[in-house]
A and B are shown apart, each in its own frame.
Chain A
Amino acid sequence: MRVAVIGAGVIGLSTALCIHEQYHGLVPSLEMEVYADRCTPHTTSDGAAGLWQPYLSDHGNLQETLWNKETFDYLLGHLGSPAAKEMGLFLISGYNLFTQPVPDPSWKNIVLGFRNLTPKELELFPGYSYGWFNTALMLECRSYLPWLTNRLTQRGVKFFHKKVESFQEMFAQGMDVVINCTGVRAGELQPDPELKPGRGQVIKVLAPWVKHFIITHDIESGIYNSPYVIPGSEFTVLGGIYQHGNWNEENSAQDHKTIWENCCRLLPALQTAKIVEEWSGLRPARPWVRLERETIRHGHFQAEVIHNYGHGGFGITSHWGCAMAAARLFGSILQEKKLASPPQPRL
C-alpha cells in the first residue's frame, strides 16, 4: 500500500504523521512518501505566528469548530510533556479587542479562562471599548514542522523535495492513495474556483517585554485586516493584512507602513523594537476546508485522493482535527480495499 502525501506544511506533515501512527501497525505494507516543492522554513505555515485562534464566527460550520477543539485539546495534552519545547508549543494569554460589543465566539469554552475585559483593562487600548481575555496556545511551525519531520523520518517515511505536476504522475509511480495537502496552490493540481489566496504580511521584531497576544478587530475591514501583535519564543510578530485574491509574495512598502503605524499606535513601546525580518505569505482561503475523498480514474488506474486543503488563516488552529478526519477517510479506503488481510497480487 503506497501512500503519497503532497505538501509539507503543517497540514501535510501532521496528516502524514496521523495516518502513519494509526495505520502502520495494521497495514505492514504501508509505504509513505512526502512530496513538496517547499519545505520548512519556506512554507506558508512557517510564516504564521502560530497562535491557536479560530475566526470569530464559525458561520454555523460546526465541523470546523470540532476540528479546532480536537486540535486544542490534543496540544494541551502535550504541554506537560518533554516534547513541548521541541514542538514549539507553549501557553500564552492575551486580548481580543473590539470597537463595539460582539457575541461570544464558538471557541470560548475551548480556550482557558475566557472572560470579558474589565474597564481598567480597556484603558490600555484607547479606541477599543469591548474585548476578551483568554489563555490559548502557541505552536511555532519553525519548531513544529522540523519536529514532525523528525517523527516521520524516524518512522521510515521518505521525503522528496520536488514539485508534483499532477495526480497522474503519482499514480503512474504506483501510488494507491494520494493525500493532497497543497494549500494555496492546490488549484495547480486540480482547478478549484473556491480557493483563493488571502495575502498576509508580517513584520518580526525583537520585543521581549510583550507577554500577551493582542488581536484587534474591525468588523468593517474584516478578519486579519486590523493590527495584531503576537509574541513568540524569540520574536514578536506584527501583522494585520488580509488581501483576498492577491497572489503577490513580495513584501509591500505600503503594507509595512500600515502594519508598523497601527501596531505602534496600539503598543507605543514597539517604536523602540528592532525589526528583524519581514515576510509575506498566502493564506489558502476557501469558504470551507476541502476535506473529502475523491476517486480518480485514469486509464487502467483507479486511485484515491484525500483532499485536505483550504484552511485559510486557521491551519495551525485546526490541523490535528483535520488530520484525524483525513485518517478516518484513509481508514475507510483501507476497509474498501480489505487491506486488513494479507496483500493481494496486483492484476
Chain B
Amino acid sequence: MAAPKVAVVGAGVVGLSTALCIVETCPSCSVTVISDQFSPNTTSDVAAGILIPHTYPGTPIHVQKQWFKETFAYLFAISNSAEASEAGIHLVSGWQVFKNTPKEELPFWSDAVLGFRPMSEAELRKFPQHQFGQAFTTLKCDCPSYLLWLEKRLKATGVQMYTRKVTDLWELHSEYNIVVNCAGIGAHQLVGDQKLFPVRGQVLKVHAPWVKNFIRDGDGLTYIYPGIHRVTLGGTREKESWSLSPDPGTTKDIFDRCCSLEPSLRGAQDIKVKVGLRPSRRCVRLQREDLSQGGVKLPVVHNYGHGAGGFSVHRGTAKEAARLVGECIAALQGSSSRAKL
C-alpha cells in the first residue's frame, strides 16, 4: 500500500513522540496528529518532566527499564547538542530523601541515571527530618519547550496537525488506514477504558532561579524540580479526582512542604498554580487492537496510561508503538495483496 495514512490521536508528549517515531521508522507513511488540546494546554505541560521513573505494577520491570534507558539515551544526546536549549532538555542533579530507609535501597533505574550513590552524612544534614537519601544526576524535559520542539520537527517532515475532538476512534476509519491512540486521560471516554483513572496532581511553578538542584521526598508527594525558567513544586496524588481547578488550601500545603525541604523557597516569586490529571493504569496500554464494523477493519495501536511516568518512558513506548504500527502496515499489505489474488 502506498503511503499508509496514520492518525495519531493526542498531542501530549506521548502523542507527539509517537508520531515522530512513526515518521522516523516509516518514511512513506503520511502521519497526521489530531487532538483537542495542544501545548500549552496538555497534561504534559503541567508536568515537571523529570526523568525519574514511576513503577507500573503490571508491566515487567525489564520492559520498564528498557523504555527508560531508551528515553534517557535519546534525551541525553539532545542535551549534549546545540539544540538542547530549544528542545528544553537539560541535566539536573539532586537528592531523593527518605524519612525512613526504603525496603528497596536500589531502584531498578539506579544504573540508568548518572552518578547514582547514597548520600553522605554531610549531605543528609541538610535534611534533618530524613534519615536516608540518594544522590544522582538525571535529565529534565522543560515543557512547553519540548512539545513545541517536537511539533516543529513533525511539521518539518510534513506532518499535519489538527485541533479536533475525536469522540470515537471509528470516526477516523474513512480518512485513515491506522489509528494510534495516545489520548492519555482522554482514553477513559474515547475508548471506555475503565482501568484508566486520573491521579490528580496540583503543582506550583515559581520563580526561584537560585535553586539549581532537585529535591524529592521518596514518598513521591513532595518535590522541587528546577526547570529552565521556573521551579516546579509539588505535589499531590489524588486518585479518582477529575477536578482541574486549583485548590488554595493545597497550594499552601505544597508550598509549606517544599519550604521545609528547601527554606530559601520562602523567597520564591510569582507563584503559578497548575493542575494535571495523570492518566494512570496498572500497566501502560501498549498494544494493537483491530476494530471492525460491518466487515470493515480499522487497525489501532494503543499507547496510553503512562500515569506519573510519561516523560520518563515516552521515547521507549513511542518506539514500541511505531513498531506495532509497522506490524499493522505489514498486515494491511498482506491482506491487500491477498485481495488482489
* A residues at B contact (CB < 8 Å): 79-82, 84-85, 88, 90-93, 112-113, 115, 117-118, 120-121, 123-124, 133, 135, 138, 207-212, 231, 233-234, 268-269, 271-273
Contact = CB atoms under 8 A, between A and B. Distances in A.
Contact of A272 (B85, B94, B120, B210): B85
Contacts of B144: none
* Top 4 closest pairs, chain A to chain B, by CB: A269-B84, A85-B267, A90-B210, A209-B90
A42 B295 CA distance: 80
Contacts of A268: 80-82, 84
Nearest to B122: A112
A269 B126 contact: no
A209 B85 contact: yes
A212 B210 contact: no
Given A208-B228, A210-B90, A113 B211 contact: no
Interface string B5-34: 000000000000000000000000000000
Given A113-B120, A272-B82, A208 B209 contact: yes
Given A85-B264, A209-B85, A211-B93, A115 B213 contact: no
A209 B212 contact: no
Contacts of B119: 113
Interface of B: 79-86, 88-94, 114-115, 117, 119-120, 122-123, 126, 135, 137, 142, 209-213, 226, 228-229, 263-264, 266-267
B114 A272 contact: no
A91 B210 CA distance: 8
Contacts, number: 98
Contact of A121 (B83, B85, B135, B137): B137
Contacts of B85: 207, 209, 269, 272-273
Contacts of A269: 79, 81-85
Q: Give the secondary structure class of A's interface.
A: mixed
B210 A233 contact: yes
Q: Which of A113, A117, A234 gathers the greatest number of chain B CB atoms within 10 Å? A: A113
Contact of A211 (B114, B226, B264): B226
A209 B84 contact: yes
Contacts of A92: 212-213
A84 B211 CA distance: 12
A83 B294 CA distance: 72
B263 A82 contact: yes
A133 B115 contact: yes
Contacts of B213: 91-93, 135, 211
Contacts of A233: 209-210
A210 B86 CA distance: 13
Q: Which of B120, B209, B212 gathers the greatest number of chain A CB atoms within 10 Å? A: B212
Q: Which of A92, A118, A120, A211 gathers the greatest number of chain B CB atoms within 10 Å? A: A211
Given A123-B80, A135-B93, A211-B90, 12 more contacts: A79-B264, A80-B126, A81-B263, A90-B211, A93-B137, A93-B213, A113-B123, A120-B114, A124-B91, A231-B212, A269-B79, A269-B83
Nearest to A84: B264
Contacts of A138: 210
B126 A118 contact: no
Nearest to B88: A209
B127 to A, nearest CB: 10
Nearest to A206: B85
B91 A212 contact: yes
Nearest to B230: A208
Contacts of B135: 113
Contacts of A113: 117, 119-120, 122-123, 135
Contacts of A234: 209
Contacts of A112: 120, 122-123
Given A85-B267, A208-B229, A209-B142, A115 B117 contact: yes
Contacts of B126: 79-80
A173 to B, nearest CB: 41
Contacts of B142: 209
A81 B259 CA distance: 12
A212 B267 CA distance: 22
A90 B137 contact: no
A47 B228 CA distance: 24
A233 B120 CA distance: 26
B180 to A, nearest CB: 31
A272 to B, nearest CB: 5
Contacts of A115: 115, 117
A115 B213 CA distance: 17
Contact of B266 (A82, A135, A209): A82
A216 B181 CA distance: 47
